[in-house]
Each structure stands twice: as C-alpha cells, then as structure tokens.
Structure 1
Amino acid sequence: MAEITATLVKELRERTGAGMMECKKALVENAADIEAAADWLRKTGLAKADKKASRVAAEGRIAMAQSGNNAVIVEINSETDFVAKDAGFLAFSDAVAQAALQVDDIDALKVAKLDGGSVEDLRSALIAKVGENVQVRRMARMQSDNTIGAYVHGGRIGVLIEVKGGTPELARGLAMHIAAMNPPYISPAHVPADFVAREKEIALAQVRDSGKPAEILEKMISGKVAKTVSEITLTGQPYVMDTNQTVEAALKAAGGAQVLSFVRLAVGEGIEKQADDFAAEVMKQAGLA
C-alpha cells in the first residue's frame, strides 16, 4: 500500500471538507487511493462536500482581445498582485492578447512580433522593470462562423464560448454564466459514462438501508444522479442572467441556440505559490529583501 502522507490527508480534506481523522481513515480503508477515499467519505456521510476546484495560487491577469468572430484570452502571470496591477504589466498583457489573435498556440505567441521585437523580448524587458518573474503561461483562441462570446471577470477569470444561433448578447451572457458557475460540461450528453456510473454507486450506498421498495430506490437513485448531473452541466444550471430559468430554457427561448464549445481560464490554476506573509511582500516590493 502507498504511504499515507500528511500531504495526501491535507488534499483529501480540502476536496471533501471532512475532518483529519476521517480523511486518514478513508485513505487507510482505500489503500491511499484518494479518488476511492473521497467516494468512501461521501458514501458514509462523513464528507461535507466533494470540492474539486483547482488551487488558485499564482498572481497575474487574464487579458482578452476580440475582432468579430475571432477572440482570445491569455493568462499572464506575475509573482505578486502588486505587479499584476502595474500599468506596464497591464499594457504588456493587453498587447500580448492582441498579438494572440494572429497565432494558434502559446509557443507561436511567445515569438510573435510585437512593438519592434517579440513577445519574449518585451517580457524580458518587463521583468527588468518590475523586478519580478513574468510568464506568458497559456492562451485559448476561438475563430468560427458561429457566434463567439468573450468575457473577463475582474482580470481573474476569462471565458470564450461558441454558440450556434442566438445573438452576441446571449453569447456574452452565457460567458458570464460560465465565469460565475464554472460548469465542467455543456450538457448531460457530455458527462463521461464512468462519472455517471460512480454517482449511481454512491447514490445506491446512500439509500440502500432506507428500507424502501426496489422501485422507489431506483427512482431515488435516478433523482440524485440527475440532480448531480444538472449541477455540473451548463444547460442544467439556473441561468445567472435570469435565475427563473435554466440555461437550457434560455437557449430554447433564443430560437433553439446551441452551445458548441467553451473554455474557461482562471489566474493561477494548478500553480503552487510560495506563501509569503504581507510584511515580507512589502519588503520585497521596497527592495529591502
């Protein structure tokens, strides 16, 4: 069996909200398999929730550029939020986003021509100016004959969405919804079969001892799974622009519009960041550390 480390216990606690001892027990019972341990906690009712959000650690900004049905979002990282608000950093990220309209991937973007040099040249110059590491980390671009919606919330979350039918206003509204609600999938048809099977297994474990007839149990299980699927799909969620209807209903009201694809980027997803205290950060910015 793999070693059950404090890091593994901590990760399980963050994902499920369960106590330390419960998490350790779950890992012991499931041979240190964190996925199985999370399911075990849910089945036994010890987990508060199955939180699977990516860690947001690094600072920086999501920049956006759009020209008709060609749109792009780019994540550019800095070490501190202080630099992410610097005028030079903001100008650099806006210029990089404009350059990204003409390229297909991040490697091409880094060597793209910009203001007499390349994006990489200007990045190096910005590092010298602000005294921090700056990275052009990733980008997403959509270009289509369909409607493209683009939205950035507070410089921290960016969304692109491709919609067949509907209006630019609808596409932007849907992009705002995705920024707020972060649905992993478009519709139930896009949810992996193994996820649905696992949810059925969990639901069965939760109701097995209820003493109800088999046909009632089946309805309860189906209801639980359907609710979970609705919560993680764009079309099943209440539409943030009008919470009296689901996104699916909003699409139907727009003449049967259809979401073909979307991408959502949040600053710092998956990046470990050194935990500096506030005083140390101020010292660093003042050049005293």
Structure 2
Amino acid sequence: MAEITAAMVKELREKTDAPMMECKKALAEADGDLARAEEILRVKLGNKASKAATRVTAEGLIGSYIEGGKGALIEVNCETDFVAKNPEFVEFVESLAKKVALENPADVAALSALALGDGTVETTRTALVGKIGENMTIRRFHRVETANKLASYSHGGRIGVLVEYSGDDEVGKDVAMHVAATKPKALDAAGVPAEDIEKERSVAAQKAAESGKPAEIVEKMVEGSIAKYLKEVSLLNQPFVKNDKQTVEQMLKEKKAAVQSFGLFIVGEGIEKAVTDFAAEVASMAKA
C-alpha cells in the first residue's frame, strides 16, 4: 500500500475542500492515486449532507442587504467558527440576504425553494454541506420594506442589526451600533414580550417577598422593578451609548429623527451548543 503523506492529504483537500480525514481515507482507498481519490470523494460527498444534518449548528454568520427601501437580515448557521469564515459560505449567506430583501419569501421553506445558481437555495446548501463537510442551516430572517430609510450594522458577522428610521444618515448608523451594543428587546416598553415581563415579575416577586415587608409594599417593589426593567430593555428608553446623559428618544428628538423599527440577530442565540474537548478531538484525529 502506498504511503499517504501529509502533502498528499493537503493537495487533495485544496482540490476538493473535503474534510482532512475524508481526504486521508479516500487516498488510502485509492492506494495513493490522487485522481482516483478525488473521484471517490466526489461520489461520497453527495451523501455528506444527510450525515451532517444531525449535527448541531450553533456557529455561523449574520448577513444583511439593503437596496432602496428593501432590507434584510439573515442568520445561517454552521458547526464551527472556521467554516463561518469560509469564502464560499460567506458568499452563500450574502446571496440569501439579497434574495430575502428583493424576493420577499414568506418563510425559510419558501426561501429554500427559490432559484439560485443552477438549482435552488436548498440544492446549493446541500452541495455546500457536502463540499465543506459541515452541517449548515438557514435559521431565520428579518425583512423590511419601507418608504423610510434603512441602515445596517454588523459586528464581526456575529451580531447583525437592521434599523428603519427617518433623519440624517448618521442617526441610522448610530442607532444600529447602539442596538448591537445594548441588545434591546423592543422599540418601546409596549413591545417587550409578555413572557419576558412575566419572568422578570416572578424573579422580582421572589426577591421582594424575602424582604418580609407587608404585601402592599411588596407589590409596589415588584412594580418598581418591572418599570425599571422595561426602561432597560426598550430602545427608546435606554441611555444613548454615545451620550449617556440622554436617552435614545431624547437624542432622536434633538436630531429631528425617528426610529420606526429594528431587527437584531446574534449568531447561535438560544441554540444549545455541544460541549467538546477540543484537545481530545485533535488528539484522536492525529491517532487516526
């Protein structure tokens, strides 16, 4: 049997973008014949997507696109931060953000059925999973179509913001960066999800009950805590990051501007990540 060297594995990986261990296995099966190994990988890659589909995708990228009054944010997940930086993955995410903004799919399933390249979004995704060797999922998107202005901000591709506003361009940029920094739950107190308020109320009630004060005082303490919480998580009531002496609402009034809505995505938010021993994983690959 031919010796499978690191240089051979590297060359095959560069030609196919297949995972390192798959390249090594293909070369062993082909007895060191690079062309045959490439052929073996191309046959096997078609099945890669179905095998990868069970793996958790908690890393990824937030993409955005704005054209006129149409804008979109999209979150596409993968398994590792390394793949999130892969140029083909980045291009795929950017193409999806544009599709969402301009073609207005109803949901992720509708987006997946749209034409892309020589096939659909879904066939392109599946082929990319096979080529790169990691599971990838289109998780969610946020779209706005408006007569107002739109601004976006990305923090390393891991936090994405889309703001609908009126006023100077600087206002949109400042608000988008503010949202990325403070992560408000809603535009104003009325928009904060009821379940979030109830969770906060439960915690506040338990803390207040420990004070041993009369029931009417406890109730006032709880309501005070809720009022404070609503100010902290609603965009317009938050202290503006560039001048904490005024709220975002006061800043907008001063600039004769307004914010109608915003979208905020954080990569992997709410996804339970698998805990892995990276050192052990590398050691096992080295042994293989």
- When Rg is computed on C-alpha atoms for both structures, the one with the higher figure is 2
Q: Is the 1:159–1:264 Cα contact (8 Å) retained in structure 2?
A: yes
Once residues 266 and 167 of structure 1 are traced to their aligned partners in structure 2, the CA distance between those partners, rounded to angstroms, is: 26
* TM-fit CA distance, 1:118: 1.3
Amino acid aligned to 1:124: T
**1:266, 1:203 → 2: CA distance?**
30
1:263 aligns with 2:263: yes
Q: Which of 119, 127, 130 matches 2:129? A: 127
Distance 1:168 1:202, change over 3 A: farther
Q: Which residue of 2 aligns with 1:34?
A: none
Greater share of helix: 2
Residues 194-273 of structure 1: pairs in structure 2 closer than 5 A: 195=197, 198=201, 201=205, 205=209, 209=213, 224-255=225-256, 257-273=257-273
Q: CA deviation at 1:270?
A: 2.1
* Cα 1:118–1:59 shift into 2, 3 Å: same
Name the aligned partner's letter for residue 144 of structure 2: M
* CA deviation after TM superposition for structure 1 residue 192, in Å: 6.3
Partner of 1:5: none
Q: Figure out how many residues of one structure are paired with residues of the other and give that number.
A: 227
Q: Structure 1 residues 135, 183: CA separation in 2 closer, same or farther (over 3 Å shift)?
A: same
Q: Deviations over 1:42-75 (max 9, x none)?
A: xxxxxxxxxxxxxx98011111111122111111
The 5 A counterparts of 1:184-199 are 184-191=185-192, 195=197, 198=201
Q: How does 1:66-145 map to 2 (within 5 A)?
A: 66-101=66-101, 102-104=103-105, 105-145=107-147
CA gap of 1:138–1:287, structure 2 versus 1, over 3 A, is farther
Write the deviation string for residues 219-277 of structure 1: whole angstroms up to 9, x where unpaired: 8777554432211111111112333321011111121x332222211111222222222
**Mean Cα displacement is larger for which, 102-111 or 188-197?**
188-197
Kindly tell me: are residues 280 and 139 of structure 1, through their superposed partners in 2, closer, same or farther at Cα, counting changes over 3 Å?
Answer: farther
Give distance in 2, aligned partners of 1:234 and 1:133.
35
Code of the aligned partner of 1:78: C
Give 5+ residue unaligned stretches, structure 2: 1-55
Unaligned runs of 5+ in 1: 1-55
TM-score, normalization by structure 2: 0.67
Separation in 2, partners of 1:134, 1:288: 28
**What's the % identity of the aligned pairs?**
42
Aligned-residue CA RMSD (Å) = 3.2
Q: Could you say which residue in structure 1 is the equivalent of 2:148?
A: 146
Deviation at 1:155, TM superposition (A): 0.6
Matched letter for residue 187 of structure 1:
D
Structure 1 residue 144, shift from structure 2 partner? 0.5
Q: Name the residue aligned to 2:3.
A: none
